Structure 1
Amino acid sequence: MNRTIGLAHLSALHLSPPELVQAAANAGFTSVGIRVYPATKGESTYRMAVGSTMFVHTLDRLGGTGVAVRDVEVFTLNGNRGRAEWEPVLEAGAALGASVLNVIGSDPDGGRLRDSLAALVEDARAFGIRPSVEPISYQPLATVPAAGLLVQQTGCGIMLDVLHFVRAGGRIAELEHLPAGAVTVIQLCDGPADTPDLPVPRAMPLGQDVNGSPRQIESRSKRLAPGEGVFPLGEILDLFPDTPISVEVPDVLAVEAHGTFAHLQHLYEAAATLTRTSLKTETK
């Protein structure tokens, strides 16, 4: 197995997009996912509208490092958002060179979610972007089978977050029955068999809200690097040998204790070891 390794923004969300690109390049990653739209209520926002100062600086870093943008995040379909909200996100994603938009299904009305997603998929085609739903264990769209049905109904893709796949009780057989090409990105991390009882960090990057929920605290503040837990990572990677990897391992306390570079270098080396990719011969 020999594939490139990308970095999800959540692994270092305290870094602005241009800082993230540079840090990813320094640690060995060849692509990044960039947050251009807030994920949680009250979250601070990186000003990434096309043409903004931060956007221009991000393009400069991308050009200088050779790092690519795989996906942009995160657009939540909650029943109230439509074209007026998603069009600027698609514009930013296209200008960054992204091919995937991360979509969260928080609308409890399944029919409305399907219809909104279908409209988003149709609009995104003009931008060369495939909206890809991420099943999240504490959201209305929680499971891989539910996401697979949306793939069939709308033509969307799936961003497979391994943590949420496991926490939702996912089984490998569910992945085997997905339509061909459904999984656009694997968000790679590891963890213990059960959701741990973790303290809420003193400060969350961008002021993210965890609501005191153990699953949200784990998801946003403390995951394990690939190979350090019990998740069936090898089986998942073997099922999707050509699917890009995005390492998504936030660890707020580790960053505070050891610094961002040490954290990201550890993540890259762990992912490279897992995928049996040579650190010297990996190519973009």
Structure 2
Amino acid sequence: MHRLALHQLSLRDVAPVDLPGIARGAGVDTVSVFVTPPSPDLDIFPRVLAEDAAAFRAACDDHDVAVHNVEVFSLGPETVVDDFTAALDLGAGIGATRLTALVQDKDQGRAGDNLCALADAAGARGLHVSIEFMKFSECRSIGAGAELLSRLGHDNLSLLVDPLHLYRTGGSVADLRATDAALIGAAQICDGPMAAPESPFGEAVENRGIPGEGEFPLADFLRALPAGTPIDMEVPMKRFAKAGLSPAERSARLVKATRALLAEAKV
């Protein structure tokens, strides 16, 4: 059984403190949130701030909702891992069990050193680290991610597999099946057309398809994941928000479609 989490990116117009209640209303008992921006000039996502942590945690407790993943820890050429101390403490403090790392450094040696340092610091706080490969990073395919993990050999590093980024980086379900299952730590789910749009970044952060709306072979994707892999429903739905659907309505539609997909895939 794959545990589902409602990702903050699905509801960019919702404050993090309101996310647990919306998730519970949609029938989900887990959420994933942002605690640090991808970069100082890309601080565009709602995130839990230190001063909001107590209220957010109280909302989780009130609705009996857990925190799965916190994002997004970008490792660039100038990264000093100690600078993430506050974000790591915040993530652990709100009860997260995993964080997402992005490799934004062309220097593989330095990137590897920083990943291992982040994995050590996160592990000391009970957080697992998953590297997300994508077109917008320096880890641009599932194969590159698997090679990086194999080279580093750190037991607190794994891959996060998002079908959008799998297909937009030229990958396939066959590539996922060929990847050592021990390297897969987490996954995300969304749908979309097989042909890339004119604005891949806009697709990624504003409008993705809910399961069943697009052309991705999602049932096969789910069957290729290791059993029990936790899954974030990461589906920004700006079009539905503009059409007047409330956050609760959007979330209910997303959860219903995702559960139907899980039933179809028999996982």
Q: Take 1:39 and 1:252, find their aligned partners in 2: how far apart are those partners?
A: 20
Q: Take 2:77 and 2:128, find their aligned partners in 1: how far apart are those partners?
A: 20
Partner of 2:104: 106
> Is the 8 Å Cα contact of residues 138 and 215 (structure 1) preserved in structure 2?
no
Partner of 1:249: 235
Q: Does 1:228 align with 2:213?
A: yes
Q: Take 2:9 and 2:101, find their aligned partners in 1: how far apart are those partners?
A: 15
> Is the 8 Å Cα contact of residues 8 and 187 (structure 1) preserved in structure 2?
no
Output the amino acid matched with 2:116.
Answer: A
Q: Take 1:232 and 1:87, find their aligned partners in 2: how far apart are those partners?
A: 39
> Is the 8 Å Cα contact of residues 26 and 255 (structure 2) preserved in structure 1?
yes
SS in 1 for 2:212: coil
Partner of 1:259: 246
Deviation of 1:227 (Å): 1.7
Instruction: Specify which of 62, 73, 76 is matched with residue 75 of structure 1.
Output: 73
> Is the 8 Å Cα contact of residues 137 and 165 (structure 1) preserved in structure 2?
no
Q: For 1:38-187, what aligned pairs fall within 5 Å after superposition?
A: 38-40=37-39, 41-44=41-44, 46=47, 48-49=49-50, 52=51, 54-152=52-150, 153=152, 154-155=154-155, 156-187=157-188
SS in 2 for 1:119: helix
> Is the 8 Å Cα contact of residues 33 and 48 (structure 2) preserved in structure 1?
no
Output the amino acid matched with 2:19.
Answer: L
Deviation of 1:178 (Å): 2.5
Q: Take 2:49 and 2:200, find their aligned partners in 1: how far apart are those partners?
A: 29
SS in 2 for 1:190: coil
Q: Take 2:179 and 2:121, find their aligned partners in 1: how far apart are those partners?
A: 24
> Is the 8 Å Cα contact of residues 149 and 158 (structure 2) preserved in structure 1?
yes
Q: Take 1:123 and 1:89, find their aligned partners in 2: how far apart are those partners?
A: 11
**Structure 2 unmatched ranges of 5 or more:** none
Q: Take 2:252 and 2:176, find their aligned partners in 1: how far apart are those partners?
A: 30
Deviation of 1:83 (Å): 2.5
SS in 1 for 2:197: coil
> Is the 8 Å Cα contact of residues 33 and 47 (structure 2) preserved in structure 1?
no
Q: Does 1:7 align with 2:6?
A: yes
SS in 2 for 1:104: strand
Deviation of 1:235 (Å): 1.4
Deviation of 1:177 (Å): 3.1
Q: Take 1:177 and 1:88, find their aligned partners in 2: how far apart are those partners?
A: 37
**Structure 1 unmatched ranges of 5 or more:** 198-213, 278-284
SS in 2 for 1:269: helix
> Is the 8 Å Cα contact of residues 34 and 48 (structure 2) preserved in structure 1?
no
Q: May I ask how many residue pairs the two structures share in their alignment?
A: 257
Deviation of 1:25 (Å): 1.2
Deviation of 1:42 (Å): 4.2
Q: TM-score, normalised by structure 2?
A: 0.91
